[in-house]
Structure 1
């Protein structure tokens, strides 16, 4: 038999054979990363269906030759074990296995295990949206339009490192200016008359620039003048003069007496890190944890390569140091959990475990995933029972609220903007929607919306800190959520309820905080209520320093020891959202002898009766009822439908 005809060898006349002979290899799917955890349903115990020992599962998985256990997540100290009041020690295994093995494990566990993909997460800072009529078609030939863009400041000095995008009728061209402030962009199949937009975004310290239907020259450099942030009247002499952002003023932080600074409250920013070593507004931040590099370099949380976490931290707790931007709660104790770039659900679960261990009070989550995660939902609920309030950005797709903002156990925040708070020739002008009120507030075009939105907050043209010691103006629900997180820190520190009846950590404390923030919000009429929720939170109302007009005693606390009544809302997480992964179509395949033997023979779960849910946390009962109404756990697990 000829060599190229041997089994496993590629014939030389087949495509790719030459490359393979040079040491290249074919692209194949890698093993997927999955989360494996016990399904924590108290209703199972009510029906006499006790979960099996998770230790048996872990031993079986570790013994399986084609399954790799990458990490084990769970409480590390007694504080974590007893923080939620249940004395449980939930464990999540991070594994690598094929889709077939994951499906088989899910089937054999018959509803007692969560087996789900370890999804990648994304941040909710807005990427600029080009003209709507631009298509993704790549031309196969034709003329090439090349042009030079030169970006300068008012002193005619070049601006290096600015992102420049040119939009035609087909694919856009993008680049970054060099030390001379120049970038050459090439578009295929375009002419100067078909160019529809030019967008320039300096890295920091300048306003962005957007020109619709620009007059572009192909023979001479096209000069774009960008203005420093201080050229805007509201930011005159900035950053040498300390300012409050327009969003903070819209929430009346500027009218709050100076002694209210969030003392004694711990706030976690789970994001991309924070430039605490270099930025004057963030140097008071002393605590953090790099989740991505926890085994080798857990202290590198100060290295924020994408600036997003620094920007969020500045809104929440920028120092009151006479310069830059002051945050809502400059005296709060900030904990930075670095999760980006590359964060996944497993690492977010680990970051929330850190928050539980450190007894954090409020967590800012300016992030989201493609699909809901039951493993993450269990950890969010556990954090809530430990007294941790999660404030979550709704998302920037302009559609339905994304997870985890869609969870019933968090406070979801949509984004608004205001006319007159940014230059008309900046990229921020492209975020204006048709929903504008008499005061100039508008629903941000990009903001996700729906019944899950609790409140709205400023998320357009938000000025805050970025590495090294600079400032940038960004858009996104990522920027809106920190406004509410900072306010939550002030409420916990200074509202009398949290010095008395709700001082003790627990889910009721979190629900009372959410109730106060929603009740202290001023209604905005921007289309439907799903775009604004209860409205824009007011700092003075939320701290009980002024009574909202027309609400009277709405902010009054229930009697000492009384249980907060959680209103019944429409289901926020459906069974399809919580379990479905429609991109999958795994094939049935047995796990193999050892693992199958360990888990085989488990009884069917059957349906969980609704009366069994009566003693559960109300929001979690709602979550479970929604699942049970649409899926029979154990008989037809929806994860792999």
Structure 2
């Protein structure tokens, strides 16, 4: 959705200002150090002086909020009148609404309808049903576990809460016990979750969740655990995400930048204050150099890893303007592959043009298909120039009673009845590949490991596998950075993909080795 603010005279909306074709043009050239002159020139070109004067802001009919380059894309604010005039003009530019994309981690089930509305007096007399979340190995309390107790799963009725330092969580139920349709616990860093059906809970019960054991292979390790430490050597991979913790002992980040216009691009490529764990987890799937017993390797530990943070520290989505700038920087840094574990519903031209330009300059964009529950592939994965990745899982690679059990969905693979495409994964004719995306253990900020699911995880699994394949093709990597190079890299990737026996709309060409 476009960003809108209020002006004393008229509504003002934010757009990405682009040339009629591509991302750069002399039509966008801004006089050095003078966005006011550019704004005045645009106003004159569009015959908007009268509109600007009426707003008592003659220099701001077209206000530049941020500029990526002298002749490059710009984040601008325009009144509705100015926007309509520009669209009707022959100014050699176009306006693309500012939209936001979200990370492609699988959504968590939540209570939408409380089981009962209780008065303050009733709540004071009986404060609810208290349970304790504990470590199944040590018996110690677990803090930060999200407990979701459904009395009616279909109607998403029940109660939920997060465990405190004592492992305790109070659920707003009446009575000393409650029979649940489903008890879900999403574990904090270092723990698996829990999924129990038809569970009766009593006040004072202890419920255990299992700690992650790095010695036990998850689905990612089952498929790619045999890759050598030098896998991906000579290939550059950029992660466009929430930032990466370069201080993690198992991650080496060679460079990057922050692209968040609302923060003046400050703060660097490290993890964002909100949702910062996502980008670090994604990066570890690709390039972790960890070794057991304290660590876990990624698919291609030998790659040169770059981090481009596009999600703000305050949380919320990443704008198309910031994402296109990150893609441009990744191309400039000569990344061979760019991983975008993000998506949205809008068929946005700005990011599409950036992906097309990256392809024309020898860089492939691998993109998460989205997690809307077998809905159409989200954008930018749906664009032809993207490599769209769905999420697969395998029973037996996560605890049978973990929260990942809810991700199992038919049909089973023809090659292995334990394989499935996750119920949350988007699917459709745009899918190119599938990858491990259910119950994936990877790096987290602060030096630890945790489990996540989503096409966000399948995407870097495919990116890492693609990097390992390309590392074995030095002639392709040495090609001039143009469209032919991208086509040759894509041919290597597509030729290696192996069908798992799912319908094509679910797996595309299949999974990379």
Please indicate, yes or no, whether the TM-score normalized by the shorter chain is above 0.5.
Answer: yes
- C-alpha separation between the residues in 2 aligned to 1:63 and 1:52? 24
Aligned partner (choices 153, 162, 166) of residue 180 of structure 1: 166
CA–CA distance in 2 between the matches of 1:97 and 1:138? 47
Please name the residue that 1:435 is paired with: 411
Which residues in structure 2 correspond to 1:494-573 (within 5 Å)? 494-498=472-476, 503-526=479-502, 528-538=503-513
| In 2: Cα distance, 1:259 partner to 1:427 partner | 31
Which residue among 103, 107, 114 is the counterpart of 2:94? 114
Q: Which runs of 5+ in 1 are unaligned?
A: 1-28, 43-50, 76-88, 239-243, 539-641
Q: Name whichever of 172-181 and 332-341 sits farther off.
A: 172-181
1:335 matched to 2:335: no
Match of 1:40 in 2: 21
Query: Using the alignment, how far apart are the partners of 1:172 and 1:120 within structure 2?
Result: 31
- 5+ residue gaps, structure 2: 1-9, 31-37, 44-56
Say whether residues 1:73 and 2:68 are aligned partners: yes
Report what 1:25 is aligned to: none
**8 Å Cα contact 1:270/1:337 also seen in 2:** yes
Per the alignment, residue 160 of structure 1 pairs with 143
TM-score, normalization: structure 1? 0.67
**1:504-550 Cα deviation digits (max 9, x unpaired):** 21122212222222221221223x21000011112xxxxxxxxxxxx
> Among 409, 423, 432, which residue is 1:454 paired with?
432
1:312–1:64 CA distance, 2 compared to 1 (3 A): same
Q: TM-score, normalised by structure 2?
A: 0.82
Aligned partner of 1:265 among 219, 222, 235: 235
Which residue of structure 1 aligns with residue 133 of structure 2?
A: 151
Tell me the equivalent position of 1:299. 268
Distance 1:209 1:442 in 2: 20
Structure 1 pair 153–525 and aligned structure 2 pair: CA distance change class (3 A): same
The structure carrying a bigger strand percent of its residues is 2
Aligned residues of 1:454 and 1:533 also touching (Cα < 8 A): yes
Q: Where does residue 482 of structure 1 map in the other structure?
A: 460
Is 1:246 matched up with 2:208? no
Instruction: Measure how far apart 1:317 and its partner are.
Output: 0.4
Distance 1:222 1:68, change over 3 A: farther
Task: For residue 260 of structure 1, report the CA deviation from its aligned partner.
Answer: 4.1
> Which residue of structure 2 lines up, in the alignment, with residue 105 of structure 1?
86
Tell me how far 1:274 sits from its aligned partner. 1.2
CA contact (8 A) 1:261 1:330 kept: yes
Which residue, 306, 311, 319 being the options, matches 2:289? 319
SS at 1:397's partner residue? Answer: coil
Q: Secondary structure at the match of 1:478?
A: helix
- Structure 1 residues 193 and 203, CA gap change in structure 2 (3 angstroms): closer
Q: Secondary structure at the match of 2:201?
A: coil
Query: Conserved in 1, the CA contact under 8 Å of 2:179 and 2:200?
Result: no
Q: Does 1:53 align with 2:53?
A: no
> 1:285 Cα shift?
1.6
User: How far apart in 2 are the matches of 1:518 and 1:248?
Assistant: 22
CA radius of gyration, larger in = 1
Shift, 1:41, TM fit: 7.0
Q: Deviations over 1:174-231 (max 9, x none)?
A: 322111111212259x9965743222122211111122232122xx22311011112x
Return the offset for 1:304. 5.8
